[in-house]
């Protein structure tokens, strides 16, 4: 694996010679101008580059173009004064070296040359995350003493701190604003080899962990999110999110056995936190202009409310002494229904799947059963049934349901304006009578200050 050193070249040869001696590369490439080309010749005379490094003038000297048209000023061109030209030439040089030497390690020293040359090479090396070292060869000095004559040493630039600032100020705000935690992780991951070894970047490590937690939660991987958030607890910010997630899990495990079988930590809330979590998830999908996904989440929220109500809020309305197990929409036990409803639902079972298998209730049928049981949510459904069914057509006609139509922003807005209030009013009616009020779960962080960063 070749170690290649790329240098900008000015009129001073000694710092470049010291850098070559210190690094001992397998190959040296000079970025120079017509005027500084002689410096390369002086270095070649001082050091046996041809013998030791296989120096080839055509391949290892990259000239910046200069055309000084004294008779034709409009034809004047000088790449030495064009930062973009130097940047592109340096980037192209890195690419060419990698094509010629697969797997090579490139180091860059931007000590020599004009300000534009050094800036262009340094920027290209900073943006090329595969450049192994970015160096500045400087004189070593003792405190309050003049320089030690004739001696200079290549010093690595701390690129980690530069990338930390770039990530926090320029690259992360966009993905965070649209709740794109995967995009945020990719931004950090692209420079992680530089960040993880820099003590100034420890806070980025914590930020990376937090983004992993919110990404898992955003994908409904509550168990993974809980495990990650637990590793961050200790600060009030993360303890708060940890407890909110435990309430969501406490709500979810009323219908789902996985949290119990996996022994996830949970906390009792009002019972509808898993529905609130879906509503917040839908808002995040709207921010990303993924309206089909947002509609799907609201539809699932409506299903969940019906399932929770039928399982836990109608027991006293069923047959028996009020301790009867609630209704499971995936397998309705007809004997649990009040006697005056049983014949109608036996008939439904006969008509469903030719009478074979359990009686299963879809969304509309679930709310009809709530109405038959005189539950307020069923009455609200009957009151708004026409508008709700019209709104549900947007979901049913979409590709992820039964049709092929994409959902537009206006269709999402129409759907949300009808379905959203129905969901929130139902939750409010069910939770307002509790003795202990529970705060609403806030939306996920969409800015660095919400993640504990002041920048």
Contact 243, 255 (CB under 8 A): no
pLDDT in tens, 226-253: 999 999 977 888 999 999 999 999 999 9
Sheet with 3-8: strands ordered across: 61-63, 27-32, 3-8, 105-109, 133-141, 147-156
For the cut 80, the answer to whether the pLDDT of residue 424 exceeds it is yes
Phi, psi of 111 (to 5 degrees): -70, -50
pLDDT in tens, 429-439: 998 876 677 88
Least confident of 44-58, 188-202, 240-254, 345-359: 44-58
Contacts of 56 (CB under 8 A, 6+ apart): none
Spatial distance between the Cα atoms of 326 and 307, rounded to a whole number of angstroms:
10
Burial class for 166, CB neighbours closer than 10 Å (0-12, 13-18, 19+): middle
Indicate the angle between helix axes 222-232 and 202-218, nearest 10 degrees. Answer: 160
pLDDT in tens, 277-294: 999 999 999 999 999 999
Alpha helices in 147-262 (DSSP H): 159-166, 173-177, 181-190, 192-195, 202-218, 222-232, 236-252, 258-261
pLDDT in tens, 72-99: 555 556 788 899 999 999 999 999 999 9
Number of other residues whose CB lies within 10 A of the CB of residue 34: 12
Per-position b or e across 307-324, b if 16+ CB within 10 A of its CB: bbbbbebbbebbeeeeeb
Burial class for 369, CB neighbours closer than 10 Å (0-12, 13-18, 19+): buried
pLDDT in tens, 134-179: 999 875 545 444 444 455 788 989 898 899 999 999 999 999 999 9
Alpha helices in 75-201 (DSSP H): 83-100, 115-127, 159-166, 173-177, 181-190, 192-195
Q: What is the pLDDT of residue 236?
A: 87
Per-position b or e across 41-51, b if 16+ CB within 10 A of its CB: eebbeebebee
Least confident of 60-69, 261-270, 296-305, 416-425: 60-69
Give the dihedral of Cα atoms 404, 410, 412, 415; nearest 10 deg: -100
Contacts of 205 (CB under 8 A, 6+ apart): 195, 196
Spatial distance between the Cα atoms of 60 and 397, rounded to a whole number of angstroms:
63
Q: At 67, which helix (H) or strand (E)?
A: strand 66-67
DSSP letter for each residue of 330-356: TS--GGGS-HHHHHHHHHHHHHSGGG-
Quickly state the pLDDT bin for 193 (edges 50, 70, 90).
confident
Number of other residues whose CB lies within 10 A of the CB of residue 162: 15
Closest of 205, 258, 197 to residue 228, by C-alpha: 205
Q: Output the CA–CA distances (angstroms, integers) from residue 260 to 247, 265, 275, 306, in the order listed.
A: 14, 9, 19, 22
Contact 125, 93 (CB under 8 A): no
For the cut 70, the answer to whether the pLDDT of residue 396 exceeds it is yes
DSSP letter for each residue of 277-336: HHHHHHHHHHHTT-HHHHHHHHHHHHHHHHHHIIIIISGGGSSSSS-S----TTS--GGG
pLDDT in tens, 316-371: 888 666 667 789 999 999 999 999 999 999 999 888 766 678 999 999 999 999 99
Number of other residues whose CB lies within 10 A of the CB of residue 146: 8
Class of domain 3-145: alpha beta
Q: In percent, how much of the chain has pLDDT > 90?
A: 68
């Amino acid at each position: 694996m070749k170690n290649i050193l790329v240098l900008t070249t000015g009129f001073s040869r000694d710092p470049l010679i010291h850098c070559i001696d210190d690094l001992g590369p397998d190959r040296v490439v000079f970025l120079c101008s017509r005027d500084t080309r002689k410096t390369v010749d002086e270095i070649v005379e001082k050091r046996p580059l041809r013998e030791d490094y296989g120096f080839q003038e055509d391949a290892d000297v990259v000239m910046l173009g200069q055309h000084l048209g004294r008779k034709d000023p409009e034809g004047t061109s000088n790449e030495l004064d064009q930062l973009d030209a130097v940047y592109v030439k340096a980037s192209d040089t890195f690419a060419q070296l990698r094509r010629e030497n697969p797997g090579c390690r490139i180091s860059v020293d931007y000590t020599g040359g004009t300000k534009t040359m050094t800036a262009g090479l340094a920027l290209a090396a900073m943006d090329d995350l595969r450049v192994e070292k970015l160096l500045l060869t400087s004189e070593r000095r003792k405190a309050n003493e003049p320089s030690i004559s004739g001696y200079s040493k290549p010093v690595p630039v701390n690129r980690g701190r530069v990338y930390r600032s770039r990530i926090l100020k320029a690259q992360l705000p966009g993905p965070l604003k649209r709740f794109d935690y995967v995009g945020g992780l990719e931004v950090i991951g692209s420079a992680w080899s530089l960040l993880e070894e820099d003590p100034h970047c420890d806070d980025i490590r914590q930020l990376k962990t937090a983004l992993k937690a919110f990404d898992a939660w955003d994908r409904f991987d509550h168990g993974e999110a809980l495990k990650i958030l637990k590793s961050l607890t200790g600060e009030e910010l993360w303890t708060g999110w940890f407890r909110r997630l435990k309430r969501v899990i406490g709500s979810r495990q009323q219908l789902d056995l996985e949290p119990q079988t996996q022994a996830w930590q949970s906390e009792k809330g009002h019972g509808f936190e898993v529905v609130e979590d879906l509503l917040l998830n839908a808002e995040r999908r709207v921010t990303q202009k993924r309206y089909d996904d947002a509609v799907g989440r609201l539809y699932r929220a409506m299903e969940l409310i019906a399932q929770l109500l039928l399982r836990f809020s109608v027991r006293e309305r069923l047959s028996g002494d009020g301790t009867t197990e609630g209704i499971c929409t995936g397998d309705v036990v007809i004997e649990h229904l009040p006697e005056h409803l049983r014949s109608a639902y036996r008939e439904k079972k006969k008509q469903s799947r030719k009478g074979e298998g359990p009686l299963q209730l879809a969304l509309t049928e679930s709310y009809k059963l709530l109405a038959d049981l005189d539950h307020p949510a069923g009455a609200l459904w009957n009151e708004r049934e026409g508008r709700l069914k019209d709104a549900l057509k947007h979901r049913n006609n979409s590709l992820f349901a039964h049709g092929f139509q994409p959902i537009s922003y206006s269709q999402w807005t129409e759907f949300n304006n009808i379905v959203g209030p129905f969901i929130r009013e139902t939750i409010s009616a069910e939770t307002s009578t509790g003795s202990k009020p529970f705060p609403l779960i806030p939306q996920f962080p969409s800015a660095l200050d919400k993640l504990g960063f002041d920048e």
